Amino acid sequence: MKLRVRALESKETLRIETPSPSSLQDLKNAISEKISSLPESLHLSLNRKDEIPDSAPEESLQSLGITSGDLIFYTLNPNGFSRGISTVTQQTQTGESSQSQACNKLSEIQSETLNKPDDSQTITRDLSSGGTSSAVSPSPQQEEPVGLSEDVDEHMNEFEEMDVDEPAPEITRNSSSVPSFMKKVFKEEAVNAGSNSKLLIISVHAVLLESGFVCLDSATKQKITSFRLPQGWASMTSTVCVNYTVPDLFRSGGEVVESVVLKFQILGKFVNVYGSLARKGSDIHALSLNESLFMQSINFVWTNCDSLGAVTDNNESAVKSNHEKKLFEFWKMVKDGLTLPLLIDLCEKTGLVSPPCFMLLPTELKILILDFLPGVDTAKICCICSELRYLSSNDDLWKQKFANEFGFSAAEGMRGSWKEKFAILSERKKRRRRMSTMRPRILRPYPLGIPYFPVRDPVPSGFHAPVGGRSDLLPGGIDFPGLAAPRLLGRRNVVTRCNLGGFNA
């Protein structure tokens, strides 16, 4: 088994290979050999807070929750880690309260071990400038996913310290909280994170939890209070099915009003996720996740699960922030493609207050968004739904669009609504564009006054009538919209019809 071992004080990392299976004692022997000290004086920890109990030195490393690739902290200081926790650390960390205890412990350790606070500050700054990365900072408060980047972070921390009522900050839905939230979920599901696709499923699970969903145990219909997935999910072959709901949908008797089902289908390098409501039929929201795109970054976070602030140089921090960017991309993709649509469906069907979504924005904001669109896109907006059709046919809106794109003077002598005028002029403009895209084709053969016959073209383009009208008869470079009319006239009729359609609303 290959392991990385890091000194708590100096943060120096060693790579160690132990025979498999091996016991805790074997590991201690291996480390003491490397750092030339006595195995008895070594203290080990997985999360650098709680010591791995040495009550059973003969027990295998696997049974203690240590797997290949893990990072293990050691110290010679007998008080470096807290003792007295007899179980493996992963299991002690369920729920918010023990988290905050751990956090407090960590801050004690921090104050002892970080004798150069200035250095650690610099590292934080470097990281922040490289992207969203507050979670990797060594400051104890930032272990909780409250942080924003840069100064807001410092700001909040200052304040959190003043806030006596709430020593443990809540989980806030925030961009830079992504890696640290994921780490928490990974830690609890560490036993099942055997393969890439499983790790990817756990990652999606993390996004669901962070979006406010709770996981349901399909057998007992009870909610799972920790960050874990239902028992036995990892043993399901090709398709994994998981139920989720939101806390508001629990009836007093423990009955669940409605839930959503996620189906994970593993197809080679792809994990397809299908989400829909469990009872009332709804649209299926599908997402296809490519392992090769995200696995490197997810694995990075996973293998560094326990090393919170262990950044030693700028190079490492750059790699870290790069991975975190990628991870955030994944996060966004799952949120926008899966959790938000599911949450909207769920709330719509059960009458709960829906999360903010486009259609629930106040009308003034929707109109403002339309203001920012070019005319063509505004015209298409009217095909989406009746409310948007109504909003996008406002004549003042079109008047403004007309002025922006053509100027008021162009409207002289034109009749009809502003949208109609806009349609007519944009049709003319389109026609001109069409002419100008053809011109080079006509001109190209004679750049030097010598006729040019491309070999692979059956009809040399100089004599070939290109698409549309009689433009082949025209000298290049001069715009004769009137002459090019025959084919295009038909199109103008079509546009007028379109216009009327838009206005029947």
Binding residues for another protein, per CB under 8 A? 131-132, 148-152, 155-156, 158-159, 163, 166, 170, 172-175, 211, 328, 331-332, 335-336, 340-341, 344-345, 355-362, 364-365, 368-369, 371-374, 376-377, 379-388, 426, 430, 433-434, 437, 491, 494-495, 497-498, 501-502
Q: Alpha helix (H) ranges present in 351-484?
A: 363-371, 375-381, 386-391, 395-406, 418-443
CB of 393 to another protein, least distance (A): 11
Q: Which is nearer to another protein, 30 or 207 (CB)?
A: 207
CB of 267 to another protein, least distance (A): 22
Starting at the edge strand found earlier in the chain, the sheet holding 2-7 runs 13-17, 2-7, 71-75, 43-45
Q: Which is nearer to another protein, 188 or 345 (CB)?
A: 345
CB of 430 to another protein, least distance (A): 6
Residue partners of 257: CB distance under 8 A and separation at least 6: 245, 249, 250, 251, 350
CB of 260 to another protein, least distance (A): 14
Q: Tell me the Ramachandran region of residue 370: left when phi exceeds 0, alpha when psi lies from -120 to 50, beta otherwise.
A: alpha
Q: Which is nearer to another protein, 75 or 137 (CB)?
A: 137
CA–CA distance, 428 with 422 (Å, rounded to integer): 10
Burial of residue 121 (CB within 10 Å: 0-12, 13-18, 19+) is middle
Q: Are 5 and 31 in contact (CB under 8 A)?
A: yes
User: Which amino acid is residue 142, in one-letter code?
Assistant: Q
CB of 481 to another protein, least distance (A): 14
Dihedral (C-alpha) 159, 161, 162, 165: value to the nearest 10 degrees?
Answer: 110
For 160-199, the DSSP string reads HHH--S-SSPPP---GGGHHHHHHHHHHHTGGG--SHHHH
Q: Which is nearer to another protein, 399 or 430 (CB)?
A: 430
Q: Which is nearer to another protein, 191 or 365 (CB)?
A: 365
The token duo for 149 is 């980047």
Q: Which is nearer to another protein, 230 or 341 (CB)?
A: 341
CA–CA distance, 149 with 132 (Å, rounded to integer): 6
Q: Which is nearer to another protein, 355 or 476 (CB)?
A: 355
Q: Which is nearer to another protein, 58 or 165 (CB)?
A: 165
User: Which amino acid is residue 285, in one-letter code?
Assistant: H
CB of 330 to another protein, least distance (A): 11
Q: Which is nearer to another protein, 124 or 211 (CB)?
A: 211
CB of 214 to another protein, least distance (A): 18
The token duo for 63 is 């049974």
CB of 477 to another protein, least distance (A): 18
Q: Which is nearer to another protein, 112 or 377 (CB)?
A: 377
CB of 434 to another protein, least distance (A): 5
Residue partners of 467: CB distance under 8 A and separation at least 6: 438
Residue partners of 77: CB distance under 8 A and separation at least 6: 8, 9, 43
User: Which amino acid is residue 49, in one-letter code?
Assistant: K
CB of 348 to another protein, least distance (A): 9
Could you check whether the bond before residue 21 is cis, i.e. omega within 30 degrees of 0? yes
Q: What is the CA radius of gyration of the chain?
A: 32
Q: Which is nearer to another protein, 39 or 406 (CB)?
A: 406
CB of 127 to another protein, least distance (A): 13
Q: Is 241 helix (H, G, I), strand (E, B) or coil?
A: strand
